[in-house]
């Protein structure tokens, strides 16, 4: 039975880079965002479900247009809940398949931006939170070309960083790559000690 480590953190905290570091250490990684992206492709279950709810969000090739979906969510306060109700069970199936496929791995990583918000921490053996100071986070996000308004909207949907850190089993500081890499190695060593105990 694999040790299930959840990885989360607010936007701009370095979660994707940190997930790659776990992968480089030989840990199988399930990426929730990548799963959604895959399920939004033409003919995939989430694309079909979104098409049934919001046909205008489907592109000519049958895949989901994320920009159109964002516009729908901004215009209709009920849209996000309806999308989540359709897509979350499909994402959960994808995650369950990943866990079955990697059942013999000592540790697996579940990379989920809204881990705490959707209660998935309850299905993890431990949770690691990536974190940087708020000014570093803001600078990173705005440097990607995101507007201040979009950044504020995303933050409003996420648990505050301080609350995530308070609930975490492990905190991975990501101000530098070296610091993050060292923390990843420490987390894996701590998990190995726990498993061996």
Residues of the chain with CATH 3.40.50.300: 1-28+107-192
Assign 157 a pLDDT band (cuts: 50, 70, 90).
confident
Query: Which pLDDT belongs to residue 149?
Result: 85
Query: Which pLDDT belongs to residue 197?
Result: 65
10 Å CB burial of residue 80 (0-12, 13-18, 19+) is middle
Provide mean pLDDT across the span 35-50. Answer: 94
Q: With residue 21 as reference, give the H or E element that holds it.
A: helix 15-24
Query: Which pLDDT belongs to residue 90?
Result: 95
Q: What tokens were used for 106?
A: 């000592």
**Average per-residue pLDDT for the chain:** 93
- For domain 1-28+107-192, give its CATH number from 1.10.1740.10, 3.30.2320.30, 3.40.50.970, 3.40.50.300: 3.40.50.300
Rounded Cα distance between 93 and 96, Å, is 5
Rounded Cα distance between 146 and 22, Å, is 27
Q: Which residue has the tokens 């000014």?
A: 135
Query: Which pLDDT belongs to residue 148?
Result: 87
Assign 191 a pLDDT band (cuts: 50, 70, 90).
very high
Provide mean pLDDT across the span 77-96. Answer: 92
Q: What is the CA radius of gyration of the chain?
A: 18
Q: Say whether pLDDT at 196 is over 80.
A: no
Provide mean pLDDT across the span 166-178. Answer: 96
Provide mean pLDDT across the span 70-79. Answer: 88
pLDDT above 90: percentage of residues in the chain = 77
**What number of CA atoms fall less than 13 Å from residue 27's CA on the CB side?**
28
Terminal-to-terminal C-alpha distance of the chain: 15
Q: With residue 166 as reference, give the H or E element that holds it.
A: helix 161-167
Provide mean pLDDT across the span 170-196. Answer: 94
Q: Say whether pLDDT at 46 is over 90.
A: yes
Provide mean pLDDT across the span 2-23. Answer: 95
Rounded Cα distance between 85 and 83, Å, is 5
pLDDT tens readout for residues 15-37: 999 999 999 999 999 999 999 99
CB under 8 Å to 48, separation ≥6 — which residues?
A: none
Residue 62 near residue 47, CB atoms below 8 Å: yes
Q: Say whether pLDDT at 99 is over 90.
A: yes
Q: What tokens were used for 74?
A: 């901004």
């Amino acid at each position: 039975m694999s040790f299930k480590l959840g990885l989360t953190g607010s936007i701009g905290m370095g979660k994707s880079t940190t997930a790659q570091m776990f992968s480089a250490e030989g840990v199988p990684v399930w990426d929730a965002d990548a799963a959604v992206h895959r399920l939004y492709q033409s003919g995939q279950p989430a694309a079909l479900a979104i098409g049934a709810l919001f046909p205008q969000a489907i592109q000519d090739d049958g895949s989901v247009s994320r920009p159109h979906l964002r516009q729908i969510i901004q215009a209709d306060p009920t849209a996000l809940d309806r999308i989540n109700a359709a897509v979350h069970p499909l994402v959960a199936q994808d995650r369950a398949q990943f866990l079955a496929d990697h059942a013999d791995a000592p540790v697996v990583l579940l990379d989920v931006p809204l881990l705490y918000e959707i209660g998935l921490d309850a299905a993890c053996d431990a949770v690691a939170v990536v974190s940087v100071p708020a000014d570093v986070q803001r600078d990173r996000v705005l440097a990607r070309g995101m507007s201040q308004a979009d950044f504020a909207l995303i933050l409003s949907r996420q648990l505050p960083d301080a609350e995530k850190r308070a609930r975490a089993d492990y905190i991975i500081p990501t101000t530098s790559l070296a610091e993050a890499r060292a923390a990843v190695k420490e987390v894996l060593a701590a998990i190995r000690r726990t498993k061996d105990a």
